Structure formats: structure tokens, C-alpha cells
């Protein structure tokens, strides 16, 4: 009977111990649960997120145009979206020195340290190893968080890291921490018998801290007696911790506070990301002012409205460039850089397709400013399509569309995830052969491109039976985007391509009926609104030019200057053209400062209207 009674008494004890153990493990499991969630963003130059299953079989080719001397397997300093590769780093031979002589290295001592020295330094070595291990773990944890942020919020995370401010106001932060701790203990202490004085003291300290924090957001606003308040609160917290309380209640309160804090932090993160994307989408106020002033001046000064002779715009002996843009400054930089880099600027003709809102300001701007002997032709896209192409319903001018491509590895989904911004033709590009019926070959430039070398060699390229000369992006194969390409037949091993600098054979375009194929493909995709219509540019561009792409030299264009912080300066200087794809455009404050200098070289300054509107990127 005694044995049975002992077993009955032992049962509740085991159950109590199990409950205590669970109460300790639950908060630990909660704190270590950091699984990321998915997030899709869409922006002005449509950045529809495209999630791909695996790239293990993809060749190690750089879709941006890899240049010799650039490492493709360099580790990522900051996790970011690159066109199929990690950050680019210049390779440096650490053994080289001035004059070519190798530095002398002293040999390691052969004598072993004495036993006394070894014993005396053992603790130091163990502490050092422990510190290094903690630092390594902290860096790995920080890298994992940054990667998750980059995958979720895109290039906003890179920008936020670059502009991250050092945390100040440590005293205010300490007050908040004390407030969190005392609030977690207060409900449990209030239920204990005989702790009325401690309960009243905790309540009073909570009210005092809240009163101080309600009027003080920085350390400079804190009252002079704040140190005494901090000491009193520390003593109160120590007394509360010495009491025997229910750990489950304290844990539940801490969990509530932690949830509220995480929710608030996540809300502010999403809000910051939204405002960042809004800043990337919205035309700066100074640019809008410039457009309005130029439009007003156009109607006040009709004498400046002088076009070159129409035969020059249709003459096949000239080299014709086509630019789709609503941005005066951006299109001006593209033209100025192309003309400045050309050996024969008098042979260049630029056709700028813009919308009705910016047509007159564009016309007046290019009438006021000369670009050596190059001819400039500003076209109202909406008026042309309405007058000459009434059978086509695409009246609105669409700029080149950019898609944020997320490529994940099945084997290593965290370490090998890559993000790239893939620019492609919009719906408006497919009307170029119809608008320029008298031309047989053009080069299409995006307005976020800077040309640094003479591009006249493009007109000497024989593309054979191909239509579109473009730089390929083999970081993405069509087979990896099968969920977005529909049921249309395609080659799964075919590489994607990028817009930016594209050589277009208009005769072959018409011969292969690319426009008709594009219209047939459009009927297969259902459009629920403007967003889905623009997102359809991804499958339509890739499928319409399937087997009609002529791969240009990868050194022609260096892409990624609108989101990749790891591009080497020597590589950028040697590239024939630079493409600022991504949402960190050089004319915005969000632009990457190290790359703005290449764009600003061709930025026209000193114009009266620019000074009045304070246009200074």
C-alpha cells in the first residue's frame, strides 16, 4: 500500500516538472522561429516578381554582359539582385608589390611555447575562440536576415542598408526596455498576496516612465533626474524577479509585447518599402516643374518650333535611333551620351516617342538644345497611333517593362537565391515597324542607358534571318518560367534577353509577321486590368521573338546599375554602354551615388528653366 501511495504522489510531481520544462521551451522555440514569408511588389516600370524553381543546371553566364577580369563566383558582400551572378569584384594579386618583387615573409618560429605560457594563455585562447564563434554566428544571422529582406522588399533593402543611421538615444531605448520588462511582471505580482507595496511601486514607476516617454523621444529631451528614475526602476525589477511568480503568465505577457513590437516593426518596414517604391515611381517635383514650364514656353515662343526636313527622318543612309520616354532629362542624357561618343554625329537621327502630356515640353527642349549635328524628331505616340494606326487599340505609351526575377535553388534555397531585374519590350515597342514604315533598321535605346563608346559598328552586323539583336540573359531559361508562358510551344533551353540597347531589323520583323504573332498571343492571355496587361509583356516579349534573337556581345551593355552595389568601377568605365535597370534610377535621390557620376557627365546644366525648377539630380 505504501508503494502504491508513493507512486500516486510521484505522478503529479512528474507532471509539474513537465509543465515547467514546456514553459521554458515554448518562448525559446518562438524566438528561434524566423521563417520568411513571401511578398510581391509591382512598380512603375513593372517589376512583377517571377519565382523560378531552380537554376542548378543553368550555365554560369552573366546576363548583364560579363567583362574579362571580373569574378563570377565572388561571395556576396550584400545580398542583392544581380543578373544571374553575385557581386562583381576586381581580382587583386595580394602577392604583388611595387616593382614586381614579392615581399619577404619571415619563417614561423620552430620552438614550441613553454608549458607555463601555454597554461597561462589557455583561458585567453578559449575566450577568444568563443568571441570569434559568437561574431561568426552573429554575422551569419545578419546575412540571413538581409537576404530575406532583399528577397521580400527588393532593392529597397540595399538602399536602407546604405542609408542606415547609427542608433542614437540609448537612454530612451533603455527606458522602453525597462518598461517592457516591468509590464510583463506586473500582472503576476498584482495577483500575489502580501505584495501590495511592490505592486503600487511598479504601477507608479510604469506611470512615471510613460509620462517621460510621452514628451521625450530623444535623449536631449529627457529631464535631469532621469538617472534616478532608471535606478529606481532597476531596483523594482530586481524585487519583482525575486518573487515566486507563474512563469507561464510572464512568458505570455512577454510574448504579447514581442508580438506587438514585431508587428509594429514589420508595419514600418512595409510602409518604408512602399514609400521607397513610390519615390521610384513618381516623377520628381522638379522634373514636373520643368515639363510644365517648357510646355508653357513652347506656346509663347512658336519660332523655336522648327523641325529638320522630313526626308532626313526617312533617309536610309542615316543611323536611326528610337527612344520611348516620358522623361525629358533622361532622354536628353541618352542622346547626349550617344552623340558625344559617336565619331560621326551628323549621321545620327533620334526619334523620341513620348505621350501627349510631355510632347510639347519635349519638342521645346530639343529645339532649345543642340546635340552637335544630330537630327532630333519628337513624335506624339498617342496622336500617331490614333491617326495612322486606328486598328490597334494600344493608344497609351508604355515604357520598357522591368520584371524582378527571383531564382531559387532547390538544393540551397537560402544561400543560392538570386534576384535580377529583367527589362523587356513593352506593348508600345511592337508598333515601331508600323510607325517607321520607311526604315529598315533601327537601334532602340531605353531612356535609362548611358552610351560610352561609338555604336556605329551595330549597323555593320549581319543578323541573318533574325529580328532582334539583344544581349542574352542566360540566368533565366524559358523552361524555368513555364508557369508564366502558358501553353504556347517554346524551347525550354532558350535564354531570355534584355532590352536596353537593341538592334532591330524592321524588314525581317515584317517578314516574320512578329506583330501578327504578338496580337495572336495577346488573345491567349486574359487581362483583368492595367496591372495584368503590363505583366503580360513578360511572356509576349519572350515568345514573340523566340528563335528570332541575335545574341550581341555581352560586353556591349553592362546592366544592373539601378540595383547592384557590387559593380567594379574599371568594368563600368570600359563598358560600351551602361544600363540603370532597377528602381534606383540615376535621376532620383534613390540612385546609387557611385554610379551617378557616369550619368551626370552627359547631364546638360546651365539651362534657365532647370535652374528655376531646381533640377539637380
Domain spans of the chain, in order of start: 170-255, 292-401+420-476+483-558
Contact 499, 580 (CB under 8 A): no
Transcribe 100-127 into DSSP letters.
GPPPP-PPPP-SPPPHHHHHHHHHHHHH
CA distances from 381 to 1, 358, 392, 399, 559 (A): 99, 10, 13, 12, 27
User: Contacts by 194-201 with C-beta closer than 8 Å and gap 24+?
Assistant: 195/243, 198/236, 198/239, 198/240, 198/243, 201/236, 201/239
Domain 292-401+420-476+483-558, what fold?
Spore Coat Polysaccharide Biosynthesis Protein SpsA; Chain A (3.90.550)
Q: Which residues, listed in sequence order, are joined to residue 451 by a DSSP beta bridge?
A: 577
The predicted-structure confidence for 199-254, as pLDDT tens digits, reads as follows 888 889 889 888 888 888 788 888 888 888 888 888 988 888 888 777 777 777 77
For the ranges 23-32, 315-324, 568-577, 599-608, the lowest mean pLDDT is seen at 23-32
The predicted-structure confidence for 539-552, as pLDDT tens digits, reads as follows 999 999 999 999 99
Average pLDDT value for the chain: 76
The pTM score is 0.68
The pLDDT value given to residue 538: 92
The predicted-structure confidence for 105-123, as pLDDT tens digits, reads as follows 333 334 444 444 344 434 4
Of 585, 541, 542, 537, the closest CA to residue 560 belongs to 585
CA–CA separation, 128 vs 130, rounded Å? 5
For the ranges 88-102, 421-435, 581-595, the lowest mean pLDDT is seen at 88-102
Q: β-strands 50-52, 401-407: how paired?
A: parallel
For the ranges 36-40, 143-147, 364-368, 600-604, the lowest mean pLDDT is seen at 36-40
State which of 90-94, 245-249, 514-518 shows the largest mean pLDDT: 514-518
Q: β-strands 449-451, 50-52: how paired?
A: unpaired
The residues, ordered by sequence, that sit 6+ positions from 41 with a Cβ below 8 Å of its Cβ are: 47, 49, 153, 154, 273, 277, 404
Transcribe 386-427 into DSSP letters.
HHH-TT----S--PPEEEEEEE--SS-TTTT-EEEEEEE--G
**Strand, coil or helix: what is 519?**
helix
The predicted-structure confidence for 330-376, as pLDDT tens digits, reads as follows 999 999 999 999 999 999 999 999 999 999 999 999 988 889 889 99
Tallying the residues shown for the chain, one arrives at 617
Largest CA distance in the chain: 116
The pLDDT value given to residue 320: 96
CA–CA separation, 497 vs 61, rounded Å? 12
Amino acid at each position: 500500500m505504501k508503494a502504491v501511495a508513493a507512486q500516486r504522489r510521484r505522478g503529479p510531481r512528474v507532471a509539474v516538472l513537465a509543465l515547467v520544462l514546456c514553459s521554458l521551451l515554448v518562448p525559446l522555440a518562438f524566438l528561434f522561429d524566423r521563417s520568411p514569408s513571401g511578398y510581391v511588389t509591382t512598380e512603375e516600370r513593372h517589376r512583377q516578381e517571377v519565382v523560378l524553381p531552380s537554376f542548378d543546371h543553368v550555365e554560369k553566364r552573366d546576363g548583364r554582359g560579363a567583362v574579362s577580369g571580373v569574378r563570377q563566383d565572388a561571395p556576396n558582400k550584400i545580398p542583392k539582385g544581380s543578373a544571374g551572378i553575385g557581386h562583381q569584384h576586381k581580382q587583386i594579386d595580394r602577392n604583388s608589390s611595387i616593382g614586381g618583387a614579392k615581399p619577404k615573409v619571415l619563417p614561423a618560429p620552430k620552438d614550441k611555447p613553454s608549458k607555463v605560457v601555454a597554461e597561462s594563455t589557455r583561458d585567453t585562447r578559449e575566450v577568444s575562440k568563443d568571441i570569434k564563434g559568437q561574431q561568426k554566428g552573429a554575422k551569419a544571422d545578419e546575412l540571413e536576415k538581409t537576404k530575406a529582406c532583399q528577397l521580400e522588399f527588393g532593392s529597397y533593402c540595399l538602399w536602407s542598408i546604405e542609408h542606415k543611421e547609427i542608433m542614437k538615444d540609448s537612454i530612451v531605448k533603455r527606458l522602453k526596455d525597462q518598461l517592457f520588462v516591468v509590464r510583463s511582471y506586473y500582472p503576476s505580482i498584482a495577483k500575489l498576496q502580501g505584495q501590495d507595496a511592490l505592486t503600487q511601486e511598479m504601477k507608479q514607476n510604469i506611470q512615471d516612465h510613460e509620462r517621460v516617454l510621452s514628451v521625450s523621444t530623444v535623449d536631449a529631451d529627457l529631464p535631469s533626474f532621469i538617472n534616478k528614475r532608471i535606478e529606481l526602476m532597476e531596483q523594482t525589477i530586481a524585487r519583482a524577479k525575486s518573487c515566486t511568480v507563474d512563469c507561464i503568465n510572464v512568458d505570455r505577457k512577454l510574448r504579447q509585447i514581442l508580438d506587438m513590437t514585431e508587428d509594429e516593426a514589420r508595419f514600418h518596414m512595409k510602409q518604408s518599402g512602399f514609400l521607397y517604391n513610390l519615390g521610384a515611381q513618381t516623377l520628381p517635383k522638379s522634373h514636373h516643374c520643368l515639363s510644365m514650364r517648357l510646355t508653357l514656353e513652347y506656346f509663347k515662343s512658336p519660332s523655336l518650333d522648327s523641325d529638320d526636313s522630313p526626308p532626313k527622318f526617312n533617309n536610309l543612309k542615316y543611323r536611326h535611333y528610337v527612344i520611348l520616354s516620358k522623361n525629358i532629362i533622361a532622354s536628353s542624357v541618352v542622346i547626349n551620351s550617344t552623340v558625344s561618343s559617336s565619331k560621326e554625329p551628323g549621321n545620327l537621327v533620334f526619334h523620341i516617342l513620348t505621350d501627349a502630356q510631355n510632347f510639347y515640353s519635349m519638342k521645346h527642349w530639343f529645339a532649345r538644345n543642340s546635340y552637335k549635328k544630330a537630327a532630333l524628331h519628337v513624335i506624339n505616340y498617342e496622336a500617331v497611333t490614333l491617326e495612322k494606326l486606328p486598328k490597334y487599340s494600344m493608344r497609351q505609351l508604355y515604357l520598357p517593362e522591368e520584371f524582378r526575377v527571383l531564382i531559387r535553388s532547390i538544393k540551397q534555397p537560402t544561400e543560392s537565391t538570386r534576384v535580377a531585374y529583367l527589362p523587356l519590350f513593352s506593348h508600345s515597342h511592337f508598333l515601331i515597324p508600323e510607325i517607321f514604315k520607311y526604315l529598315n533598321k533601327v537601334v532602340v535605346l531605353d531612356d535609362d542607358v548611358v552610351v560610352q563608346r561609338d555604336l556605329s559598328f551595330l549597323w555593320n552586323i549581319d543578323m541573318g534571318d533574325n529580328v532582334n539583336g539583344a544581349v542574352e540573359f542566360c540566368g533565366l531559361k524559358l523552361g524555368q518560367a513555364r508557369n508564366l508562358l502558358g501553353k504556347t510551344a517554346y524551347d525550354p533551353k532558350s535564354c531570355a534577353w534584355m532590352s536596353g540597347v537593341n538592334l532591330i531589323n524592321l524588314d525581317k520583323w515584317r517578314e516574320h509577321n512578329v506583330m501578327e504573332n504578338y496580337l495572336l498571343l495577346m488573345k491567349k492571355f486574359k487581362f483583368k486590368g492595367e496591372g495584368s496587361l503590363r505583366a503580360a509583356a513578360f511572356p509576349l516579349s519572350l515568345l514573340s521573338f523566340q528563335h528570332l534573337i541575335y545574341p550581341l556581345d555581352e560586353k556591349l551593355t553592362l546592366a544592373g546599375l539601378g540595383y547592384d552595389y557590387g559593380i567594379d568601377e574599371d568594368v563600368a568605365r570600359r563598358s560600351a554602354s551602361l544600363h540603370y535597370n532597377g528602381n534606383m534610377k540615376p535621376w532620383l535621390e534613390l540612385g546609387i551615388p557611385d554610379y551617378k557620376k557616369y550619368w551626370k557627365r552627359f547631364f546638360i546644366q546651365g539651362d534657365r528653366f532647370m535652374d528655376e525648377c531646381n533640377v539637380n539630380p
